[in-house]
Structure 1
Amino acid sequence: MNTEVAGPGGVRIALRVEGAENSRPIVFVHGWAQSADAWSAQLADPALSGRFRLVAMDLRGHGASGVPAAGYDDPRQWAGDLAAVLDFAGPDAILVGWSYGGLVITDYLRVHGTARLSGIVLVGAVTEIGRGREGGRTGPVMRAALPAALSDDAEVAIPALVEFARAQASARVPGAYAQAMLGRSLSVPPAVRGALFRRDVGSAEVLAAVDVPVLVVHGTADQVVDPAAAEYSAGKIPGAVLRWFVDAGHLPFVEEPGEFTALLRQFSGNTAEEQE
């Protein structure tokens, strides 16, 4: 099912939804210049949708969501968008954030805390952004793509985005998925692609205050978000569990979908039992 909610200022936030309405929700938050379609394998997993309500959002400026002119540098806007999604999804949600989605989750925690959550999964995620921020350390593939991938000149941006999609997709990523990633990146306006990087946010205190179960998942061969970013967030969050996907890159939920989805089912089931 496709639907939408209204974020701050009435911005349309598009959603993909699977599973029963009265089930415990898992809310998926995608990364920079992508969309809810990034989570297609998880949304199609009957073992997940049979037990949980799966809600994948398109970030503002991405996918089918609205494209406001401003607000991309304001943590309160991102927090408000995710709060609106949680209003729709239901209580005791598990948040799953990939790449930039981890920063959006951290924005939500900064403003709203953990009261409505039962768990968090960070996947190849950043939790900070800005020069010298350990929780936002990027790898060589991301650094090589910038600033060209942010340009409004098609002759500059398109080759950079093609190489970015190619370089982050290992041999275990289906070719159709890699091409869809490129299409999703190109569909995000250049102004939005650039605006997401014009932030300087530290999150040490926010992470230290997290009091729900947290699973940090990262590929050891991730060259988009440096594995050091995972070590940082896992080290700051009390009780966080760090799970490495050996030889996986930036897309462990695509490179190893069976293993990742089984891990997510186990984590989500355990947190559900702890809440009951």
Structure 2
Amino acid sequence: MAGVTTGGGTRIAFRTAGDPQGPPIVFVHGWAASSAAWAGQLSDHSLSAHRLVAVDLRGHGASDIAADGYDDPAVWAGDLAAVLDHLGRPAVLVGWSYGGLVVTDYLRERGTAGVAGVVYVGALTEMGRDRPGGAVGSAWDGIMRPALSEDPREAIPALTTLAERMTAAPLPGPDLQRHVGDMLRVPPRVRKALFRRDVGSAEVLAAIDVPVLIAHGTADTVVAPASAEYAAGKISTAIVRWFEEVGHMPFVERRAEFNAALVDFAGPVANH
């Protein structure tokens, strides 16, 4: 683990792997997760020619639990900018789920400065009622309110159910428990604050001028495939990779296939 401190004084932690001199790939996890989600990428030899950096968002993992900033695009952009400044060269940004919204916030505030390419994985690019880039699926049915509760008797079963619904096929028990542990490590107030947003991104997506890969599972019930279709329709540089019969975590469910697609995309982009 390593870390940087933002201009606002928040320490953002990240895991590193691969070649320290290689072209960087920066992984941004989803809601109530952590950088540990990317273990299957950080440990894969096929990606080792890159400098691999998996970020813990503020309030998550080993990063500081900041008092605020969870609903502010400028703050999210600043957090990611601090990591990119530390790397010192353009990076491919990989945003999964809510991490896709964080990447979009960076693009909203900073444009594509320091960005070689973008990979959206099961990603949101918008949030709010009737925002097409933020369409979610049936995995949230019946669990949204208890998942945000301060009462562990409500939160733990709801978060466990959500973790179970992340994948099309069941995760091994130890992996599922680790994921639930990451969720519980995020304070309830942070879990709530992350949803306290209403933001569209049509103009931001249309302005992207670097290569983009959109990877989405056809069986994703957490972030609906319609969200990927919306982003693909707005981003002129986008190519779409559908993972058939895969849920919300193609980088786990089809690790080898996902990593091969990432190598094929990031190699030419990062070395351009």
| Same fold, judged at TM 0.5 (above) | yes
In 2 relative to 1, CA 56–243 (structure 1 residues): closer, same or farther, beyond 3 Å?
same
User: Partners in 2 of 1:161 and 1:8 — Cα distance?
Assistant: 33
Counterpart in the other structure of 1:149: 147
Percent identical residues: 59
The 8 Å contact of residues 84 and 90 in structure 2, kept in 1 or not, is answered as: no
Counterpart in the other structure of 1:45: 44
User: Partners in 2 of 1:103 and 1:215 — Cα distance?
Assistant: 15
Unaligned runs of 5+ in 1: none
How far is 1:172 from its partner? 5.8
Question: Alpha-carbon deviations, 1:165-206, whole Å to 9, x = none?
Answer: 112233263332222111100110000000000000100000
User: Partners in 2 of 1:47 and 1:176 — Cα distance?
Assistant: 25
Please tell me whether residue 4 in structure 1 is matched to residue 20 in structure 2: no
- TM-score, normalised to structure 1, is 0.96
5 Å-filtered alignment, 1:2-81, equals 2-49=1-48, 51-81=49-79
Counterpart in the other structure of 1:94: 92
The 8 Å contact of residues 234 and 241 in structure 1, kept in 2 or not, is answered as: yes
User: Partners in 2 of 1:248 and 1:42 — Cα distance?
Assistant: 17
How far is 1:112 from its partner? 0.5
- TM-score, normalised to structure 2, is 0.97
Please tell me whether residue 204 in structure 1 is matched to residue 202 in structure 2: yes
SS in 1 for 2:142: helix
How far is 1:88 from its partner? 1.6
Question: Alpha-carbon deviations, 1:211-237, whole Å to 9, x = none?
Answer: 000000000000000000000011101
The 8 Å contact of residues 164 and 171 in structure 2, kept in 1 or not, is answered as: no
User: Partners in 2 of 1:6 and 1:250 — Cα distance?
Assistant: 31
5 Å-filtered alignment, 1:115-130, equals 115-130=113-128
The alignment yields a C-alpha RMSD, in angstroms, of: 1.1
5 Å-filtered alignment, 1:133-212, equals 133-171=131-169, 173-212=171-210
SS in 1 for 2:125: coil
The 8 Å contact of residues 168 and 245 in structure 2, kept in 1 or not, is answered as: no
Aligned length: 272
5 Å-filtered alignment, 1:187-266, equals 187-266=185-264
User: Partners in 2 of 1:173 and 1:240 — Cα distance?
Assistant: 30
Please tell me whether residue 104 in structure 1 is matched to residue 102 in structure 2: yes
Question: Alpha-carbon deviations, 1:127-186, whole Å to 9, x = none?
Answer: 000000000000011243211100111111111111111122332633322221111001
SS in 1 for 2:209: coil
